Amino acid sequence: MRNFSRRHVGQLLLLGLSGAATACVDRSRYSEEDAAGLDAQREAERLASGRGPFGPQRYRGYRGLAELPWFELDGTDRLRLVADDVPRAIDVHAHLGMSLLFAPELDLQRRTPRVEHLLDCDRADPGCALDLDVYINSNFQPADLRGLQYDAVARLLWGSSASETHTLANLRAEMDDVGVEKAAVLPIAFGLPFGDDLAERWLDAISVSETPDRFIRGASVHLGDDAWREKLGAQAARGARMVKLHPAGQRYFPDDLRAMEIYEECGRLGLVVFLHGGRAGIEPEYAHQFTMMKGYEPMLAEHPDVDFVLGHAGARDVEDAMVLGRRYQNAWLGIHGQGVTVLDRLTREVGPERLLFGTDWPFYHLAATLAKVLIVTDERPDVRHAILRGNAERLLA
Ligand SMILES: [Zn+2]
């Protein structure tokens, strides 16, 4: 009964938020044609799945990846990397559980028997249908998406039970299972009136964890925060190497003049700028205007000395992201989300030198992205090394 009423509160809140913002779509930024392009991308992807150079790549849950030659299930049914010639990976894109506004604080050092990934593909046995030849969030079913919305509200109000399993200790255990040496832990500042200090809390959590060196520290600030400059400086002074900004989540255009100032400051502080890039397709529709790839070009052009990572390689706007990746040497593409056929194209059409391994944990098991890299680079050890760690080492040197 309690959950029932909570769910209703959540739905009302979401309706209110998206309703208020629908009026704010800037049609000069986001046309009907742009919206139609997203539908076309989805349909083309659906038709092409399994017809690329790697054939069908469909598995039952993350555990199902044990069918691949590089993985096995151990005695406790955990998926493990067993190939000993795979370079130890550096994951440039991970997050932890979030508790914001009124939600109670999480214990980020806690170890739990299993991780409830946001795509909780191993909940049942056999696991959910996992297609590695589509943009990864296509694997969410409608009920999963409703669960995601509910979880997003829970993280603001009463706390999310999934988030309780998104701890540093659980992340490290999964890293150990599949040979990930380091992971960048990227907070997001949402611009909430209180309870919005993920960057500071996650820096604290890393500093008291058993293995602080396994984590690359992340920063985040919000454009609307008058104190962003001091906060960013303080986060950098505490060892942050990458700042995460999220045009959809933070509701801003990447070429906003206030954001340009932040990028410039990042350059001064030696921080890599990691932006969520492109339309994922599962966010509220009015947020799509913020992540059209054309909006990312001015920052790349005007800050040639700042390194930018375009998260998800532009997600469903990957074609446009590839253009930027070819045009700008300071554009790095995070590969998380892209299916094997597109990932293969990225290595050939943009080149492997600025592609970065990232997983978006805890949305998905680390092995979901790792498996794709291994499939695509089976005959190309240099490309595999570059994507899994060499490029990240160069970026963060
Ligand atoms: Zn992310």
| C-alpha 263 – ligand 1 centre gap (Å) | 18
Pairing of β 129-131 and β 58-60: antiparallel
User: What is the model's pLDDT at position 3?
Assistant: 44
280, 316 contact by CB (below 8 A): yes
| C-alpha 75 – ligand 1 centre gap (Å) | 32
276, 311 contact by CB (below 8 A): yes
| C-alpha 359 – ligand 1 centre gap (Å) | 8
| C-alpha 361 – ligand 1 centre gap (Å) | 8
DSSP string covering 20-58, please? HHHTT--TTTS-HHHHHHHHHHHHHHHHHTT-STT---E
| C-alpha 345 – ligand 1 centre gap (Å) | 22
Assign 295 a pLDDT band (cuts: 50, 70, 90). very high
For the chain, what percent of residues have pLDDT higher than 70?
Answer: 94
Contacting residues for 257 by C-beta, under 8 A, at least 6 apart: none
pLDDT digits (tens, 9 = 90+) for 56-87: 999 999 999 999 999 999 999 999 999 999 99
The average confidence (pLDDT) of the chain is 93
Assign 1 a pLDDT band (cuts: 50, 70, 90). very low
User: What is the model's pLDDT at position 13?
Assistant: 55
More confident call, 3 vs 226: 226
User: What is the model's pLDDT at position 159?
Assistant: 86
| C-alpha 144 – ligand 1 centre gap (Å) | 18
| C-alpha 1 – ligand 1 centre gap (Å) | 33
Q: Evaluate if residue 368 carries a pLDDT over 70.
A: yes
| C-alpha 240 – ligand 1 centre gap (Å) | 16
| C-alpha 356 – ligand 1 centre gap (Å) | 13
pLDDT digits (tens, 9 = 90+) for 33-54: 999 999 999 999 999 999 999 9
| C-alpha 2 – ligand 1 centre gap (Å) | 31
| C-alpha 360 – ligand 1 centre gap (Å) | 5
| C-alpha 277 – ligand 1 centre gap (Å) | 10
Furthest-apart CA atoms within the chain: distance in Å: 57
When computed from its CA atoms, the radius of gyration of the chain, rounded to whole angstroms, is 20
pLDDT digits (tens, 9 = 90+) for 268-283: 999 999 999 999 988 9
Domain boundaries, the chain: 56-82+89-396
Q: Evaluate if residue 4 carries a pLDDT over 70.
A: no
Once rounded to an integer, what is the mean pLDDT over residues 207-230?
A: 97
Other Cβ atoms within 10 Å of 17 Cβ, number: 13
Measure the CA–CA gap between 217 and 195, rounded to whole angstroms: 20
Once rounded to an integer, what is the mean pLDDT over residues 196-201?
A: 95
| C-alpha 47 – ligand 1 centre gap (Å) | 27
| C-alpha 276 – ligand 1 centre gap (Å) | 6
pLDDT digits (tens, 9 = 90+) for 152-181: 888 888 888 899 999 999 999 999 999 999
What number of residues does the chain have? Answer: 397
User: What is the model's pLDDT at position 66?
Assistant: 98
| C-alpha 245 – ligand 1 centre gap (Å) | 9
Other Cβ atoms within 10 Å of 330 Cβ, number: 17
User: What is the model's pLDDT at position 199?
Assistant: 96
| C-alpha 270 – ligand 1 centre gap (Å) | 21
| C-alpha 363 – ligand 1 centre gap (Å) | 9
Other Cβ atoms within 10 Å of 363 Cβ, number: 20
Give the type of residue at 345: R
pLDDT digits (tens, 9 = 90+) for 253-268: 999 999 999 999 999 9
Q: Which of 37-65 are b and which e, b meaning 16 or more Cβ less than 10 Å from the residue's Cβ? A: bbeebeeebeeebeebebeebebbbbbbb
Once rounded to an integer, what is the mean pLDDT over residues 136-148?
A: 89
Assign 144 a pLDDT band (cuts: 50, 70, 90). confident
Query: Which residue is associated with the tokens 């555990």?
Result: 63
Question: Can the peptide bond before residue 212 be classed as cis, meaning omega within 30 degrees of 0?
Answer: no
Measure the CA–CA gap between 196 and 98, rounded to whole angstroms: 10
| C-alpha 311 – ligand 1 centre gap (Å) | 7
pLDDT digits (tens, 9 = 90+) for 101-123: 888 889 999 999 999 999 999 99
Supply 128's token pair. Answer: 């959910």
For the chain, what percent of residues have pLDDT higher than 90?
Answer: 83
User: What is the model's pLDDT at position 23?
Assistant: 54
| C-alpha 31 – ligand 1 centre gap (Å) | 26
The domain over range 56-82+89-396 is classified in CATH as 3.40.605.10: no
